[in-house]
Amino acid sequence: MSSEKYEPLTIETLAARLGSVDAICKVVGDDTSKWKIDEVGDGNLNLVYTVSSESGNIIIKQALPYVRLVGDSWPLPLSRSFFEHEVLVRQAKRDPGSVPVIYYFDKEQAIIAMEMLLPHIILRKKLIAGEYINGLAQRLGEFCARNAFRGSDLSLQTADKKSDTAMFQGNLALMAITENLVFTEPYFEAEMNHHTEGLDPIVKILRSDVKMKSEAQKMLMKFTSNTETLCHGDLHSGSVMCTDNETKVIDPEFGFYGPMGFDIGMLISNYLMAYFSQPGHRDSEKLSEYQNWILKVIEETFETFQQEFKKLWNFERTGILFPSSMFEDQGDSSDFALNEMLEYIWQDAVAVCGIEMHRRVLSLAHNADFEEINDTKKRSQLEARNLMMGRELILNNKSIKNASELTSLAKKFNSENYL
C-alpha cells in the first residue's frame, strides 16, 4: 500500500485497502467480511477507526492533511504521523507497557495500526464522571520521569540525542500549533479565540498583566529552544486512557524536544481543570471527596516523578551531563545537583501548568471539563477560579516550592468567587 498516493480511509474503503496487510490480519483475521469497522475519532486532528472481529480488535489511526477540528482551511502535514510513530517507539522502549502496541505503520498513508485499549476510556471522561483510577499517579509519574530522563543528555549518548533532536525539529507544524494556541493567543484577541460569557473582567486582568505575559513568553522561549528531552507534547487527560486499574498514554503526535518539565506540567494543569470544574458535574456530597482525590493524584504524581527521577539519576546517569567523574568518583555526592534539577523541572512544570490553564479556557481548543457545564454562569465562575490560579502559577513559578503548596493554592482559589 505504501507506494500509492495518500488517500484518506473511509469506512467503505478500509477493508479493501488494509485487508492484505499481514500485521493487521494477524490481529483481526484475514476475512475482511467479518470486520466490524467504526469511525471513533473524537480528537481535533485525525481519523480514527476501530476494526473488530472474532479474532481481535485494532485501532487504525490516520492523519488528515488538515486540522479535523477546523477543516481543510487549516492544512497540517501528514508527517505528524511519522513523528507520532517515532515517539511511540521511544516511549515503548523508555517506559515499557506505557503506550499501545504498534502493529503496523505506513508513512506514505500516514496510518498507524495499534492495539485497541479495551475497556479503557479517556481519562478526561472518567474525571468528568467522578470515577477513581487506581495507580493513576504512580503510572503517569513514572511515565513522565522515565521519558524525561531517558530522552535527555543525562542518559543518551550525545550523538544520538543530537541527531534525534535534529529530526524532531521537522515536526514544526505541530510545534507551531502549541507556540500559537498555548503560549500566545490566550493573551490577545486572536481570531480563533472564544470564551464563556461573563469572563471579560478576568480576561482583562490577564491580558493587562505585563509581568505574567512576559513569564508566559519566557516559557515559550524554553518551549522552542530548550531541547532537553523528547516530550509527549500534548499530555492532557484526553491523551490518557484508563480502566479502573490500568493507565496508558496515547497520541504523541505533538512530540518535540523540549523542557523536562513540559509534560508533567501540562498533565497537572489538566488535573487542576478537572478539579475546578467538578462543582459543575456533581453535588456537594461527593464533590469534596472527589476534588480531594484529584489533588492527591497531583501530589502523588509529582512525588512519584521525583522518586523515579532520583532512581534513574543514581543508576542510569550515562550521558554527558553531571558525569560521575565530576562527583561520585571524587567522593562527592551529586545530590545537590539532583535536587536543583528537580527544582528546575518543577518550576518549568508550574509555569506550563498555568499557561495551559489559560489556553484551554481562552484559546481555540477548550476542555470538555468546563465545556460540558451547560449553565454558563456557573461555568464562567469556575473558569474564573481556574484562570486566576493559572495567573498565580505563571507569576510565581519560582516560589511555589512543591506540589503540596500547589494543591493548597488550588483549595484557596476553589473557595474564591470572582464573578
Bridge partners, 231 (sequence order): 256
DSSP secondary structure, 135-159, as one string: THHHHHHHHHHHHHHHTSTTTS-HH
Residue from 20, 134, 169, 292 touching a copy of itself (CB under 8 A): that is 169
Nearer to a copy of itself by Cβ, of 73 and 330: the residue is 330
Nearest distance from C-beta of residue 418 to a copy of itself, angstroms: 21
| Per-residue binding letters, 199-218, with a copy of itself (x by CB under 8 A) | --------xx-xx-xx--xx
State how far the Cα of 184 lies from the Cα of 186, in Å rounded to an integer: 6
CA 258 – CA 141 distance, rounded (Å): 18
- 298's CB contacts (< 8 A; 6+ apart) are 137, 268, 271, 272, 403, 406, 407, 410
Q: How far is the CB of 206 from a copy of itself (least distance, A)?
A: 11
From 239-247, 292-300, 334-342, 399-407, span contacting a copy of itself (CB under 8 A) = 334-342
Name which position in 93, 221, 292, 296 contacts a copy of itself (CB under 8 A).
221
Burial of 345 (0-12, 13-18, 19+ CB in 10 A): buried
Indicate which single residue of 108, 170, 365, 396 sits in contact with a copy of itself (rule: CB under 8 A): 170
Closer to a copy of itself by Cβ: residue 344 or 418: 344
Q: Which of 337, 388, 409, 419 binds a copy of itself (CB under 8 A)?
A: 337
Contact 215/395 with Cβ under 8 angstroms? Answer: yes
CA distance 28 to 366: 35
Interface with a copy of itself (CB under 8 A), residue from 224, 243, 396, 404:
224
Position among 2, 33, 73, 330 found at the interface with a copy of itself (CB under 8 A): 330
> Closest Cα partner for 235 from 259, 263, 210?
263
The answer to whether 142 contacts a copy of itself (rule: CB under 8 A) is: no
Query: Least CB distance from residue 270 to a copy of itself, whole Å?
Result: 24
96 vs 331, which CB is nearer to a copy of itself? 331
Any contact of residue 175 with a copy of itself (CB under 8 A)?
yes
Contact 309, 141 (CB under 8 A): no
Residue 398 sits in the site that holds a copy of itself (CB under 8 A):
no
20 touches 78 (CB < 8 A): no
Residue 19 near a copy of itself by CB under 8 A:
no
Binding segment (CB under 8 A) for a copy of itself, from list 26-34, 105-113, 122-130, 176-184: 176-184
Q: Is 192 in the site for a copy of itself (CB under 8 A)?
A: no
- 10 Å CB burial of residue 210 (0-12, 13-18, 19+) is exposed
Please identify, using beta-carbon distances, which residue of 48 and 349 lies nearer to a copy of itself: 349
CA torsion through residues 396, 397, 398, 401, sign: positive
- The owner of cell 483475521 is 29
**Closest-CA residue to 149 (of 38, 57, 264):** 264
Contact characters 227-256, a copy of itself, x per CB under 8 A: xx----------------------------
166 lines the binding site for a copy of itself (CB under 8 A) = yes
- Using the rule CB under 8 A, give the single segment among 47-55, 69-77, 121-129, 324-332 that binds a copy of itself: 324-332
CB closer to a copy of itself out of 324 and 376: 324
Residue selected from 35, 82, 187, 276 as contacting a copy of itself according to rule CB under 8 A: 187
Cell 506550563 belongs to 352
Using alpha carbons, select from 83, 96, 89 the residue that is nearest to residue 143: 96
Side chain identity at 374, as an amino acid letter?
N
User: Per CB under 8 A, which region of 2-10, 42-50, 109-117, 175-183 contacts a copy of itself?
Assistant: 175-183
Cβ atoms 308, 150 nearer than 8 A:
no
Distance of CA 64 to the CA centre of its chain: 20
**CB closer to a copy of itself out of 1 and 167:** 167
Of 132, 111, 203, 151, nearest to 312 by C-alpha is 151
Cα angle: 23, vertex 25, 29; to 5 degrees: 155
The site for a copy of itself (CB under 8 A) is made up of: 152-153, 158-159, 162-163, 165-167, 169-170, 172, 175-176, 179-180, 184, 187-188, 190, 207-208, 210-211, 213-214, 217-218, 220-221, 224-228, 320-323, 325-327, 329-330, 332-334, 336-337, 340-341, 344
